Amino acid sequence: MAAETVFGKIISGEIPTTFLAETDRVVAFPDINPQAPVHILVIPKSTEYANVTELAAGDPTLLAEMVAVAKQLAAEHANGEYRLIFNNGASVGQTVFHVHAHIIANLEERSLVGF
């Protein structure tokens, strides 16, 4: 079990956000500090996995569901094209140890910074 994180508090409702997508096992919401015109986070509701390596080994179907939600959001909020970024470890920039995918899109409007 991953340690309690800000994303666990978002799932429990303790920290408010706007869910842009929700399935039985996944939610998506805007990044609070966007690095691109479209910057959305997709996370599993489970707090079990700290990073994408653990998720891929433990529940690849859940990882595939996150990608499917990302595809849907990129179609809704951009032209369907997107970057999907998983930071895996503190030394490469991971700050929240509850696995999450960054959906980055609409980069023609602004150059990519921060990743």
Catalytic-labelled residue, pool 39, 77, 98, 100: 100
Edge to edge, what strands does the sheet with 26-30 contain?
A: 21-22, 26-30, 38-44, 101-105, 83-85
Quote the least distance from Cβ 24 to ligand AMP, whole Å.
21
Under the binding rule (CB under 6 A), the answer on residue 32 touching ligand AMP is: yes
Select from 18, 24, 33, 111 the one that contacts ligand AMP (CB under 6 A): 33
Select from 2, 84, 96, 107 the one that contacts ligand AMP (CB under 6 A): 96
Residue ranges of E strands in the chain: 21-22, 26-30, 38-44, 83-85, 101-105
Letter string b/e over residues 61-83, b meaning 16 or more CB atoms within 10 A of that residue's CB: ebbebbeebbebbbeebbeeebb
Select from 18, 61, 91, 95 the one that contacts ligand AMP (CB under 6 A): 95
Indicate which residues carry an active-site annotation. 100
Residues that bind ligand AMP (CB under 6 A): 6, 15, 17, 29, 31-33, 41, 87, 93-96
